[in-house]
Amino acid sequence: MKLSANEEYGLRCLVRLGYEGEGGSLTIPEISHAEGVSPALAAKILRVLRKAGFVKAARGKEGGYALARPPEAIVIGEVMEVLGGRLFESSFCDTHSGQAAICTRSVDCSVRSLWRAVQVAVDQVLSKATLRDLLQNEEEMNSWVRAISDRSGLRLLQ
């Protein structure tokens, strides 16, 4: 259970674009330099974000990338899913075709229940966060984490 490079870099590119504010845009070389990723890789990941509708691209001179929606309309959970897929894709137990609520083998079921619980816990955090939240400065970021912490009962701050 690791973050993929796609997720790490992709989210950073989005945040970087977000910093440019309303209508601001950046070129691939600018983004790649700011985030310390190679231009080729940044281009590859930005293409994924474009196809998913999070950013838009302008070609030609004076072109570049910009957010396709306001930051508060970009839910991090959706971004993460596009960049890295779902945690639990039911790959193992699909002899039982994923539809059945109850597996015949209880081993499968208890393990799947666990994965589901983890998936839900992750979603609770990621579906509450928007790009807007990530654009706030340090203090505001902390207060956001604290808010989720309070709402959910999780102790997210150490």
Partner DNA sequence: GCTAATCTGTACTTCTTAGTCAAGATTACC
Partner DNA sequence: GGTAATCTTGACTAAGAAGTACAGATTAGC
Q: Which residues bind its own copies (CB under 8 A)?
A: 1-4, 7-9, 11-12, 15-16, 19, 34-36, 76, 80, 84-89, 91-92, 95, 102, 106-111, 113-118, 120-122, 124-126, 129, 133-138, 141-142, 145, 148, 151-156, 158
CB of 98 to DNA, least distance (A): 18
Residue 62 touching DNA (CB under 7 A): yes
C-alpha to C-alpha distance for 3 and 126, rounded to whole angstroms = 14
46 binds DNA (CB under 7 A): yes
Residue 4 binds DNA (CB under 7 A) = yes
Instruction: Give which of its own copies, DNA, none residue 62 binds (C-beta under 5 to 8 Å, depending on kind).
Output: DNA
For 25-81, the DSSP string reads -B-HHHHHHHHT--HHHHHHHHHHHHHTTSEEEE-STT-EEEESS-GGG-BHHHHHH
Could you say whether residue 71 binds DNA (CB under 7 A)?
Answer: no
Indicate which of its own copies, DNA, none lies near residue 23 (CB less than 5 to 8 Å, by partner kind): none
Place of tokens 């970087």: 16
Contact window for DNA (CB under 7 A) among 16-24, 39-47, 101-109, 121-129: 39-47
SS3 per residue for 76-142: HHHHHHHHHCCCCCCCCCHHHCCCCCCCCCHHHHHHHHHHHHHHHHHHHHHCCCEHHHHHCCHHHHH
3-state secondary structure of 8: helix
Tell me which residues touch DNA (CB under 7 A). Answer: 4-6, 9, 26-29, 38, 40-41, 43-44, 46-47, 50, 57-65
